[in-house]
Amino acid sequence: MSETNARIRYEDWEHYAKKRLSKGAFGYVQSGSNQEQTLVKNREAFNDLELVPRVLKDVSNRDLSIKLLNQSLAVPFLLAPVGFQRIVHPDAERASAKSAQKAKVPYIMSTVSSTSIEEVSEIMRDVPHYFQLYWPNDQDVCESFVKRAEKSGFDAIVVTVDTPYLGHREVDLSNGYSPINTGAGIENFLTDPVFQEKYNPNHDLSEAELIDEIKSILFKQDLTWSNIRWLKKITDLPIILKGVMHVDDAKLAVEEGIDGLIVSNHGGRQLDGTQSALKALQTIRQEIGDDIPILVDGGVRGAPDVLKALAIGADAVLIGRPYTYALVDGEAGVDQVLNNFTKDLDTSLAILGVNQVKKIDTSVITNSVNR
């Protein structure tokens, strides 16, 4: 394939990214933790699940939109929070947000972005955008992030709850690679008045020193439900928990009045050896019914995967690596992936024999998820 041909397949983007990125950066994006069993299972679960199309249905007019948190979303997929995007392209999150805005694809911005909260919100405007919180181990900085997100126009806070520590990512350890050491992903800290006042009062720290300060508060290991209750008090924004896999945690979230869940094993990057995200979704949805919106991520590579996830009970899905690889070509690359995903979804929906994404239910699958 010549470099000028359109890249459509996920594998082609992955291959392209591998050629273009440093070994460390590519390994960081691609790999999972430990033996990558969970990473593989996320895909296998999608492969196992079977769609059954209906025929002779009028599918000449289609509607891809859904409702989530009282907002209309143009499509049932969102860009997952992917941190450190500057290791992939200098335009980083700015390029992803611009592309998402044009394609009307909702964007979840990572805490560890190289573009500030305010700038991303300004780019996204009326297209829904959520702020993903890696809860800093400093309550004042945490509160400042949340207030900035609220003030600048974000529509929800997504608290990632599966990361008290980073997973044991053997590829990164072998490569001696840590994305934050490149200076990527620190913009929200650098632009935060509370962080600056507390950790860099004289504005005299070098970048390396700042990175060390950021690392020292990046994850909070004693985060519990009481912190989530505090968060509910300090913000009016809906709160979504990302990284829930256990049905008992999902039940607690409902009891605590959480607004939504993202069933996720972090794309196989945190605890290895878990079941697939799709299987966890199936169990959780069966147990908790329709009490709460549930999103899922991990292994979604095309429209049929989106349809499968919706069929077993997801309200929407997130995609991570598919757009991250395309970001190698900046905004234009992400444009290609998002437009392709939307087009694929539109035609796959029609071929499934359904004309509204909202109408997808278990009747279009035959089996259940087994891994």
Taking CB under 6 A as the criterion, which residues in 293-322 touch ligand FNR? 297-300, 318-321
266 assigned ligand-binding residue: yes
State the nearest-atom distance from the C-beta of 54 to ligand FNR, in Å.
28
Residue 112 binds ligand FNR (CB under 6 A): yes
Is 201 one of the annotated binding-site residues? no
354: helix, strand or coil: coil
For residue 78, give every residue at least 6 positions away whose Cβ sits within 8 Å of its Cβ, in sequence order, or none: 105, 106, 107, 108, 128, 130, 295, 316, 317, 318, 319
Please report whether residue 172 would count as binding ligand FNR according to CB under 6 A: no
| Interface with ligand FNR: number of residues (CB under 6 A) | 24
Q: Using the rule CB under 6 A, is 106 a contact of ligand FNR?
A: no
Task: Check the annotation: does 362 bind a ligand.
Answer: no
- Residues 6 or more apart from 338 whose CB is under 8 A from it? 99, 100, 103, 105, 323
* CB 10 within 8 Å of CB 301: yes
How far is residue 301 from each of residues 11, 32, 335, measured CA to CA in Å? 10, 16, 16
Is residue 335 annotated as involved in ligand binding? no
- Annotated catalytic, 168? no
Q: How far is the CB of 152 from ligand FNR (least distance, A)?
A: 19
Nearer to ligand FNR, 29 or 365 (CB): 29
Binding to ligand FNR by residue 132, rule CB under 6 A? yes
Q: What are phi and psi of 300, to 5 degrees?
A: -75, 115
Give min distance, CB of 270 to ligand FNR, in A.
9
Residue nearest to ligand FNR (CB): 320
Can you tell me which residue has the tokens 């009045």?
257
Q: Which of 7, 41, 242, 308 binds ligand FNR (CB under 6 A)?
A: 242
Smallest gap from Cβ 72 to ligand FNR, in A, equals 23
Sign for the pseudo-dihedral over CA of 172, 173, 178, 181: negative
Q: Is 132 annotated as a binding-site member?
A: yes
CB 343 within 8 A of CB 64: no
Interface positions, 260-299, toward ligand FNR (CB under 6 A): 264, 266-267, 269, 297-299
Q: Which helix (H) or strand (E) holds 297?
A: strand 294-297
Q: Could you tell me the CA-to-CA distances from 12 to 45, 91, 99, 191 in Å, in that order?
A: 22, 22, 20, 37
Minimum distance of ligand FNR from residue 42's CB (angstroms): 6
**Phi, psi for residue 313 in degrees, rounded to 5:** 125, 5
For ligand FNR, the binding residues in 208-237 under the rule CB under 6 A are none
Residue numbers 317-346 binding ligand FNR by CB under 6 A: 318-321, 324
Q: Count of CB atoms within 10 A of residue 151's CB?
A: 11
User: 46-75: which residues touch ligand FNR (CB under 6 A)?
Assistant: none
82 binds ligand FNR (CB under 6 A): yes
How many other C-beta atoms can be found within 10 angstroms of the C-beta atom of residue 103? 19
Q: What is the CA radius of gyration of the chain?
A: 20
Torsion region of 221: left, alpha or beta (phi above 0 gives left; psi -120 to 50 gives alpha): alpha
Nearest alpha carbon to residue 78 among 63, 89, 91, 68: 68
Question: Shortest Cβ distance from residue 239 to ligand FNR (Å)?
Answer: 14
The residue annotated as part of the active site, out of 129, 203, 246, 266, is 266
Q: Which is nearer to ligand FNR, 31 or 348 (CB)?
A: 31
Among 17, 21, 29, 253, binds ligand FNR (CB under 6 A): 29
264 is in an annotated binding site: yes
* Given 96, 99, 116, 160, the residue binding ligand FNR (CB under 6 A): 160
Cα distances (angstroms) measured from residue 273 to each of 11, 39, 41, 325: 24, 9, 9, 25
Which positions make up the binding site for FMN? 81-83, 110, 160, 242, 264, 297-301, 320-321
Q: Binding site residues, as ranges?
A: 28, 81-83, 110, 132, 134, 160, 169, 242, 264, 266, 269, 297-301, 320-321
Which residues make up the interface to ligand FNR (CB under 6 A)?
28-29, 80-83, 110, 112, 132, 160, 242, 264, 266-267, 269, 297-300, 318-321, 324
Annotated active-site positions, please? 266
